[in-house]
Amino acid sequence: MGLCMSAENVDALRRNAEVDSQIRKAKRQQRKEAKILLLGSGDSGKTTIMKQMRLLTDGSFSKGELESYRQLVFANLITGMKALVDCLAEVDLTIEDDTTALDAYRTILAAPDVRDGQAFPDGYLPLFKLLWEHPVIREGINHCRRFAIPDNVPYFYSHLDRLWAPEYSPTNLDIVQTRARTAGIVETTFQISDSFAHTAIPDPSARAVTLTEKYGRRKNKGAETIPGISSIVSEDSNITELDSDEEKPRAKFQLKFSTTKTLRFVDVGGQKSERRKWIHCFEDVTAILFLVSLSGYDQCLVEERSTNQMSDAMTLWEGICKMEWFRETSLILFLNKEDLFRAKVAESPIRRFFPDYNGPLGDAEAGKEYFQKRFIRIEHKGTLQLQQLEKSGDRKTPSNKPYTSARRRQVYPHFTTAVNTSLVLNVMIDIADTVLRDQLKDADIL
């Protein structure tokens, strides 16, 4: 009689078995996936890297996304000019004694948002041109760099006539150059393989391709879909770049290769107000991709003018390197905006902001080496502190287990220019060949 079981018990055992099977399946999938956490100060280029990966993998956008980017270009023109004018007083410059320029500026600030399908208003083109060509504004560009003027201002203002064409649609580079604050947590999955090295570089000046143009119309009506794209946004996320009412595509960025591996990038806001959310992303991280704006060595934070961008990045990096969560996590260091750094280092001495720099004045290569060594030393210091905790034996890992004598984590520094698609491709290939091949074999990724 003891062998008899009720129907309820049999059903409960069956449900338990199904749950166990699902858990095992999820764990197997997790072992085949690399979770890359994107960290860094605001305006370091994290979202730009994700847009470049989108171009390199799928290379197409929904009509709603392209319309949002088009409207964002117009908004960036306004916010960029406002940032420039706001900083003029800091360098003893002003346009207030020029009534024509001042009226043009006030009109631009009051410009209504561009609506879906609406061309940029004709009346604003001469106003933008007047301000951009104004001698005070031109002088202000050179003196206001340290006040975190958006990097895309010269780019968009040098293309005003093209932007005001009635048929204007964003190019690939326009999309990469757009700027909007990322709030919340965004997860994007990419499928890559060794054949990623043979990916064709999209033409930066070409008009961005729509999903319909690339894949044709689907039989099922409704929102456009991308074969296999996955972009998961947390409930508290506020991504203004994709502020469209259109339903977002949900699948995976699919490369046309027979063997693919999964990289899941988790992008979080870099502003100080967003950093409290980072801890929710710390579990099961394969590697950290930490971005630093090299050109920020002489700039302040957008949200805190008393804080130097580079100093803030170093402080943030130090905190991450000391975290027990990441004791065995590979660290990928992107020293980004190398092009802007080279352009400004001759006129803005590094030693003025970092007195311990003893390299030649105006030498970009020496400056790059200096900052790379600073970040490497910070990581070594953090590793030493964690090793001391291990030896003490009285500290636990985040999972409440004693430390073990595991491998030392690796640091992979790269100099990058996030707006350059070709350079981003080369760096991502390098990451796949090093971190994913050498450090993540135990996760069965490669």
How do residues 152-185 score in pLDDT, each as one tens digit? Answer: 999 999 999 999 999 999 999 999 999 987 767 8
Instruction: From 175, 197, 232, give the residue that closes a domain.
Output: 175
- Same domain for 216 and 157, yes or no, is no
- Same domain for 93 and 126, yes or no, is yes
The residue that leads in pLDDT, 330 or 104, is 104
Q: What pLDDT score was predicted for residue 223?
A: 40
* Domain span including residue 208: 35-61+183-439
- Is residue 49 within 8 Å of residue 418, measured between CB atoms? yes
Is 210 marked as a binding-site residue?
Answer: no
The residue that leads in pLDDT, 381 or 11, is 381
Report the CATH number that the domain containing residue 135 is assigned in CATH. 1.10.400.10
Span 190-198, average pLDDT: 70
pLDDT over 90 for what percent of the chain?
38
- Is residue 148 within 8 Å of residue 300, measured between CB atoms? yes
Report the CATH number that the domain containing residue 235 is assigned in CATH. 3.40.50.300
Least confident of 66-75, 157-166, 366-375, 409-418: 409-418
Q: What pLDDT score was predicted for residue 254?
A: 37
Phi (first) and psi of residue 314, to 5 degrees: -65, -40
Least confident of 123-127, 189-193, 332-336, 378-382: 189-193
How do residues 39-98 score in pLDDT, each as one tens digit? Answer: 888 788 888 988 988 888 877 888 999 999 999 999 999 999 999 999 898 889 999 999
Q: What pLDDT score was predicted for residue 352?
A: 93
Is 339 marked as a binding-site residue?
Answer: yes
Instruction: From 175, 192, 225, give the residue that closes a domain.
Output: 175
Which among 38-47, 166-175, 250-259, 260-269 has the top mean pLDDT?
166-175
Angle at 282 between CA 436 and CA 279, to 5 degrees: 150
- Same domain for 191 and 300, yes or no, is yes
Is 91 marked as a binding-site residue?
Answer: no
Share in percent of the chain as helix, strand, coil (round to 5): 50, 15, 35
**Rounded-to-integer distance, Cα 321 and Cα 334, Å:** 15
Considering the domain boundaries, does residue 15 fall inside one? no
Is 269 marked as a binding-site residue?
Answer: yes
Is 268 marked as a binding-site residue?
Answer: yes
Is 51 marked as a binding-site residue?
Answer: no
- Same domain for 259 and 310, yes or no, is yes
How do residues 99-149 score in pLDDT, each as one tens digit? Answer: 999 999 999 999 999 999 999 999 999 999 999 999 999 998 887 777 778
Is 271 marked as a binding-site residue?
Answer: yes
Report residue 276's pLDDT band, with 50, 70 and 90 as the boundaries: low
> How many domains would you assign to the chain?
2
Instruction: Provide the token pair at 375.
Output: 């970040």
Q: What pLDDT score was predicted for residue 22?
A: 61
- Same domain for 189 and 277, yes or no, is yes
Please spell the DSSP secondary structure of 84-148, one letter per residue: HHHHHGGGT--STT-HHHHHHHHHHHTPPPPPTTPPPPGGGHHHHHHHHT-HHHHHHHHH-GGG-
- Same domain for 273 and 193, yes or no, is yes
Considering the domain boundaries, does residue 14 fall inside one? no
Considering the domain boundaries, does residue 23 fall inside one? no
Span 278-300, average pLDDT: 82
Instruction: From 147, 175, 203, give the residue that closes a domain.
Output: 175
Q: Tokens 């710390």 identify what position?
A: 282
pLDDT of 425 above 70: yes
pLDDT of 312 above 60: yes
- Is residue 57 within 8 Å of residue 254, measured between CB atoms? yes
How do residues 204-214 score in pLDDT, each as one tens digit? Answer: 888 888 877 77
Span 366-378, average pLDDT: 97
Is 270 marked as a binding-site residue?
Answer: yes
- Same domain for 167 and 205, yes or no, is no
